[in-house]
Structure 1
Amino acid sequence: MQLSSPRYFPRFNFKLRSLKGWLIPIILLLLWQYSSGKSASHAYAFVPLQQVWEAFISLLNNGELGYNTWGSLKKALLGLVLGSLAGISLGALLAYSKLLNAFISPLFNAIRQVPLLGLTPLIALWFGNGETAKIFIIALASFYPLVINTYQGLSQHESKYQELAAIYQFSTWREFRQIRLPQAIPYILTGLNLAVPFTWITTTASELLFNAGAGLGNLMMKAEVNAEMDILLVCAITVTALGVLMTTFIRMLSRALLKWRPENKLS
């Protein structure tokens, strides 16, 4: 068996690309650790990595990290699901009804220009400072991209398929199920992929603004008050990890649903 056989090259190239992806994070970690040892002020701003690890273990052992992580994850998932379902529904209605599109699109395009956190005082007035207000803000974050992407996916169908549906006298439901929906799924999945980072931004921000109940944002607020930079970093890393996991899940779902596409066979 020859090691230089061409069939081994793709596997080697894949490993090489994976290693390149870790190069910059490793360099940044080394620079961070170097900066933490320069002086006391640097050690406060750039907490030594071993201190961050000790804080992680401590929060894990006393159950505080798990309790607050579950609080944030529960709100993020619920807000993402509710906002996505509402966004897909409205996007489909706008794509199928020119009358609704004429009435709702101007209002929708006007409201989505307002920053979500700018609506916080109004939402607090409507829902108070509890979990309902937080979930509503998170749902709005995923609502906007799903409306836009669903509308684009259902509107931009090829005319040849529409002609084919007319020849075979497809009903509206059959045309939607067999023609429009398969073409819209990549757009909808892209909308979900875009919604995940907005979901976590608003989850953490809503917990910081409405400082009540379990959540990583609340834990970060307490750490800021007590000047515990290591706990702040643990919370930030946890939020990042959760966002990456959710994005990875959506990508896996995309590959499963879109495996019929040629570009997905290559990935």
Structure 2
Amino acid sequence: MATRPHPVPKALRGWVLPLGLLLLWWFAARFGWSSSPMLVAPEAVWARAVRYTASGELRSALGSSLWRNLAGFAIGASGGLLFGAALGFSRLFERAVGPSFHTLKQISLFAWIPLISVWFGLGDAAKVAFLSLAAFFPVVLNTFEGIRSVPREFIEVARVLKFSRRQLLGRVVLPSASPSIFAGIHLALIYAWLATLGAEYLLVAGKGIGNTMIDGREHFQMDLVIFGVIVVGAVGFTLNWIATRIETRLLAWRGRSVAQF
């Protein structure tokens, strides 16, 4: 049976809400729906974007933020994979440190900032440490859950076939646990980007897209603030898209999901 075509072209499906909001924003500014000076026109934001990009300030600010984000993500995700694997494979290690870890994960991420600032100062080292912590916990939890969720039947079949430890790990455990592990890495990348902005707000100011937004707020330049918000959203979307594409390619053996429409 032939499927009914979608009324909206595939290339435009993700743009319906943004275009609708943009149109509403333009009408609000054009016809003066609010007298607040905080409501700036889309044209003003576009003009600010052109100037900020042409001057090189955007490249400098965004480069600094992305460097911190990727450094913190790499450190936190690597540590999370090792720690999560240790928890998953070793019952003794889980009993020894698992309760402490599950207690620490309940602490709000921003509650660590006073300690981080004492241990690492207030510069880039503190920001990277904060981002590492943001990426660490989701990777640990998903790695642990992925390993512990491997069906016992798979393990029994591998033992019947007399798999070595290396074969058991490479052919049974990792393939079964990889969807959960990649989900944790995906979450870590998102959380690290969100934490990047929090670190730039709460620690010493420097170059970064978060500090650009702070400057705009302090000088009541709402066009700069809105431009910063758009850039943050665009970068977050791009990081999510890249992570999704990598995950889809590496886990292509799973086949398509049930969500066909």
2:241 is aligned to: 248
Cα shift at 1:46? 2.5
Kindly state the Cα deviation for residue 200 of structure 1 after the two structures are TM-superposed.
Answer: 1.6
In the other structure, the counterpart of 1:65 is 58
1:139-173 deviation line (CA, Å, top 9, x unaligned): 11111111011011111111221112212322323
CA distance in 2, matches of 1:239, 1:90: 31
Q: Deviations over 1:169-191 (max 9, x none)?
A: 22323211111001111111111
1:77 aligns with one of 60, 65, 70: 70
- Which AA in structure 2 matches 1:224? R
Which among 180, 184, 196 is matched to residue 191 of structure 1? 184
Distance 1:51 1:43, change over 3 A: farther
SS of residue paired to 1:44: coil
- Please tell me whether the aligned partners of residues 33 and 48 of structure 1 are also in contact (alpha carbons under 8 angstroms): yes
Counterparts of 1:181-220 in structure 2, within 5 Å, are: 181-220=174-213
Residue among 163, 166, 182 paired with 2:156: 163
2: distance between equivalents of 1:262 and 1:121? 46
Matched AA of 1:24: L
Query: 1:266/1:34 Cα in 2 relative to 1: closer, same or farther (>3 Å)?
Result: closer
Mind listing any 5+ residue stretches in structure 1 that lack a counterpart?
A: 1-5
Alignment deviations for residues 229-258 of structure 1 (CA, whole Å, 9 cap, x no partner): 111111111111111111111111111111
> Tell me, which stretches of 5 or more residues in structure 2 are unaligned?
none
Letter of the 1:232 counterpart: V
Check the 8 A contact 2:190/2:239 in 1, yes or no: no
Aligned to 1:124: 117
Output the TM-score relative to the length of structure 2.
0.92
What is the aligned-residue RMSD (CA, Å)?
2.2
Verify the 8 A CA contact 1:255 1:264 in the aligned structure 2: no
Residue of structure 2 in register with 1:143 after alignment: 136
Contact 1:258 1:264 in 2 (8 A): no
Identical columns (%): 31
Hey, what does 1:3 align to over in structure 2? none
1:42 Cα shift?
4.1
What letter corresponds to residue 199 of structure 1 in structure 2? A
Instruction: Give the whole-Å Cα distance in 1 for the aligned partners of 2:89 and 2:259.
Output: 34
Q: How does 1:45-124 map to 2 (within 5 A)?
A: 45-124=38-117
Q: 2:222 aligns with which of 229, 235, 240?
A: 229
CA distance in 2, matches of 1:152, 1:46: 47
Cα distance, 1:197 vs structure 2: 2.5
User: Cα distance 1:266–1:202, how it changes in 2: closer, same or farther (>3 A)?
Assistant: closer
SS at match of 2:204: coil
Asked if residue 152 in structure 1 is aligned to residue 161 in structure 2, the reply is: no
TM-score, structure 1 as length reference: 0.90
Shift of 1:13: 3.2
C-alpha displacement of 1:122: 1.1
The number of residues matched between the two structures is 260
Cα distance in 2 for partners of 1:192, 1:244 equals: 16
Q: Paired residue for 1:263?
A: 256
SS of the equivalent of 1:86 reads helix
Return the structure number with greater helix share. 1
Which moved further from structure 2: 38-47 or 139-148? Answer: 38-47
Query: 1:31 aligns to what?
Result: 24
